[in-house]
Amino acid sequence: MLRADIATDASLDLDLQFEWYADVADEEVAERYLAAFHESKEYLCRQHDLGRICRFRNRKLAEFRSFQLQGSFHKHLIFYRVENDTLVVFRVLQGLRELPRRLLEPPGAE
């Protein structure tokens, strides 16, 4: 089983999305969002090759994979790469629009 490392941008993505769910829905939904992320991350640590290989043109995004969050948050994607014995989570984004651009922007730049 791989260990997980959550990059700063991914951590900020999670914080921003948590705050959004807490404001728009409620704290329980926000907590379920984080639980879905952690469940999905642990699943990937056990079977990291389940994520889809991303075919972005930008070299900074080479070897990224994406995986849907489990449960009702399936529109959100974990973008990760395996480095040695570590699952490195780079971003966690809603996967509906302009992904290559958004992956390179800092969290909250929309």
Question: What is the pTM (predicted TM-score) of this model?
Answer: 0.90
Residue 109 placed within a domain: no
Q: Who's near 71: CB < 8 A, 6+ residues apart?
A: 32, 36, 39
Q: How many domains does the chain have?
A: 1
Q: Which residue, chain included where needed, has tokens 């991303």?
A: 54
pLDDT at position 62 is 85
pLDDT at position 99 is 79
**Domain housing 44:** 3-104
Residue 23 placed within a domain: yes
pLDDT at position 9 is 96
Q: What CATH number should be reported for the domain holding residue 93?
A: 3.30.2310.20
- Of the candidates 23, 20, 1, 7, the residue with the CA atom closest to the CA atom of residue 88: 7
Mean pLDDT per block of 10 residues along the chain (110 residues) reads 97 97 97 98 96 89 92 95 96 83 82
